[in-house]
Amino acid sequence: MSKAMTEYRYNRLTWPEINDAIAAQKLVILPTGSTEQHGPHLPLDVDVFLCESVCLEVGRRAPDKVLVLPPVAYGLNLHHIDFPGTIHIEPEVFIAFCLNITKSVAYHGFQKILIVNGHGSNGPLIDLVARKTVLETPSLCFATTYFWFLLDEFQKIRETPVMAHADEFETSLYLYLAADRVQMDKAVEDNDRMGKYVSSDSTPNYPVRFNDYWGRWTRTGVHGDPRPATAEKGRRLFEAAVTGLLELVDELRRWPIEERADMHRLPAAKSIRW
Ligand SMILES: [Zn+2]
């Protein structure tokens, strides 16, 4: 059996093994995160470390079905730039960079690509990357965040109302995966400026999209309350995310790629490209 069916890390394969992986139509996963301040108690790598850890576990449990690319460790972050260490990538650059990755993967013949995001501000950008990949290649590209798959589980165990940033949820996951890198003695609670329709770090429950410079409304860089975080909560959240994504992998691998029907009576000008 080819190593392509047991190795789930994309760049651990040789090019002949990649040919085997293409023949098996493994789903290719691209994790995206950020290098960004996460309060005084967590390292800068939270978004990329948590997201990549979830994706690699999906690979470990389904090595015959997926290949996990090296993650994109930087994202849209200028709103955090007042906090030392944060790295910002312009949204146009991020979209172009990720699209170059998905198009390369599609070029080789992988028909299904999944972007799994771990940094909220990348959300609208990966949606566009997935859509542009579908429109510009013969492959299908899907975009999601691993947060989505653990929401139900978080509802059962959460002790704090806010799910945002360096909070109970992210801190619990980090405690589960690498407790030695979390400084719980420095964990503090903080909140954003809230109106009826708008908040300064508009989480999805607000109808108006808005994100202010964080240097305007917080001195800690935390949005939420990390203090009740535990490794056991993190374990349950991690399991929920991995289990949900494994189901998604099966659904996407089954998803058909149909021939497009052309409804023009006379030939369309198909040489035009946008
Ligand atoms: Zn985060």
Q: Provide the pLDDT for residue 205.
A: 83
Phi, psi values for residue 26, rounded to 5°: -65, 145
Ligand 1: distance of its center to the CA of 154 in Å? 16
Phi, psi values for residue 4, rounded to 5°: -60, -20
Ligand 1: distance of its center to the CA of 63 in Å? 27
Q: Provide the pLDDT for residue 43.
A: 98
Beta bridge partners of 143: 115
* CB burial of residue 130 (10 Å; 0-12, 13-18, 19+): buried
Ligand 1: distance of its center to the CA of 274 in Å? 35
List domains and CATH numbers for the chain. Answer: 3-254 (3.40.50.10310)
Residue type at 116? V
Q: Provide the pLDDT for residue 120.
A: 94
Ligand 1: distance of its center to the CA of 232 in Å? 19
Categorize the per-residue pLDDT at 273 as very low, low, confident or very high, splitting at 50, 70 and 90: confident
Ligand 1: distance of its center to the CA of 267 in Å? 50
CA dist list (Å): 190 to 170, 175, 183, 193, 203? 14, 19, 16, 10, 14
Using the structure block, give the residue that is written with the tokens 């708008």.
198
Ligand 1: distance of its center to the CA of 188 in Å? 15
Neighbours of ion ligand 1 (CB under 5 A): 46-47
Residue that wins the pLDDT comparison between 204 and 68: 68
| pLDDT tops 80 at residue 1 | no
Beta bridge partners of 165: 223
Can you give the pTM of this predicted structure?
Answer: 0.97
pLDDT tens digit string along 30-89? 999 999 999 999 999 999 999 999 999 999 999 999 999 999 999 999 999 999 999 999
Task: State the CB neighbour count (10 A cutoff) for residue 66.
Answer: 27
Is 134:140 a contact under the CB 8 Å cutoff?
yes
Q: Provide the pLDDT for residue 86.
A: 98
How is residue 155 written in tokens? 């509802």
% pLDDT > 90, the chain: 96
Q: Provide the pLDDT for residue 135.
A: 97
Over residues 11-19, mean pLDDT: 98
How is residue 16 written in tokens? 């002949």
Over residues 171-199, mean pLDDT: 96
Ligand 1: distance of its center to the CA of 164 in Å? 8
Ligand 1: distance of its center to the CA of 80 in Å? 11
